[in-house]
């Protein structure tokens, strides 16, 4: 069965997954890299290699060939909003993005697909979460689909009850402002079994949500 998965999704104690205000220079706004440094702890991914602790294992989940397509919001793809003024933008990740699969970018302003190096192709679609998941599943060749973020996109998929597995990383910082993962999701935990584990190396808490009965 092809699961819809959220992996390595980092939030602050106050629930923000990205700061204010995103720009070309600051993809995560005032949060900077603070939500993501756990990944590069000594037991995470160091020197370009996955190390041998809890952080490393969980940083690698979903990057092992088990994901066959990705869905992301337009703000994860780039800092632009509204009609594309600059179709030269090819994502934050350079010519060989780390996805190596079809990537469906949700936007009200479709544009031609972008074929990158290494197997990544960005498709730009104006679709509901359910429609996007259907398209991504069709492209995933029986593998799982990653709901890659940002927070607004993950929230929309949770609202539509389309997430099977979710890995949230709780980073013990207070951002104060930004885009919240949890807004409008009162009671969402009731659909999941939740396991928690803290990392002595980075100090974060990994929350592993799995759909009940799945």
* Binding positions for a second copy, rule: CB under 8 A: 13-15, 170, 172-177, 180, 182-189, 194-198, 203-205, 207
Of 149, 170, 175, 188, nearest to 62 by C-alpha is 149
User: C-beta of 131: minimal distance to a second copy in Å?
Assistant: 26
Beta carbon nearer to a second copy, 61 or 143: 61
β-sheet bridge partners, residue 170: 11, 205
User: C-beta of 177: minimal distance to a second copy in Å?
Assistant: 7
Beta carbon nearer to a second copy, 16 or 104: 16
- Taking the C-alpha atoms of residue 150 and residue 154, their distance in angstroms, rounded to an integer, is 6
- Taking the C-alpha atoms of residue 188 and residue 127, their distance in angstroms, rounded to an integer, is 23
Beta carbon nearer to a second copy, 16 or 77: 16
- Taking the C-alpha atoms of residue 68 and residue 63, their distance in angstroms, rounded to an integer, is 10
User: C-beta of 71: minimal distance to a second copy in Å?
Assistant: 22
* Four-residue CA torsion sign, 154, 160, 162, 164: positive
Beta carbon nearer to a second copy, 42 or 184: 184
């Amino acid at each position: 069965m092809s699961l819809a998965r959220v992996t390595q999704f980092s939030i602050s104690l106050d629930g923000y997954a990205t700061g204010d205000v995103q720009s070309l220079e600051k993809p995560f706004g005032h949060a900077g890299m603070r939500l993501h440094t756990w990944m590069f702890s000594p037991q995470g991914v160091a020197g370009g290699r996955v190390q041998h602790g809890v952080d490393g294992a969980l940083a690698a989940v979903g990057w092992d060939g088990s994901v066959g397509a990705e869905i992301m919001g337009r703000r994860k793809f780039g800092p632009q909003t509204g009609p594309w003024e600059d179709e030269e933008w090819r994502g934050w990740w350079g010519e060989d993005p780390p996805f190596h699969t079809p990537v469906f970018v949700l936007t009200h302003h479709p544009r031609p697909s972008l074929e990158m190096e290494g197997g990544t192709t960005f498709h730009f679609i104006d679709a509901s979460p359910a429609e996007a998941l259907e398209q991504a599943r069709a492209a995933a060749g029986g593998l799982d689909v990653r709901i890659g973020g940002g927070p607004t996109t993950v929230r929309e998929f949770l609202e539509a009850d389309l997430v099977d597995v979710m890995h949230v990383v709780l980073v013990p910082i207070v951002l104060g402002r930004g885009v919240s993962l949890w807004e409008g999701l009162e009671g969402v935990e009731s659909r999941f079994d939740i396991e928690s584990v803290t990392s002595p190396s980075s100090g974060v808490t990994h929350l592993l949500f799995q759909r009940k009965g799945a």
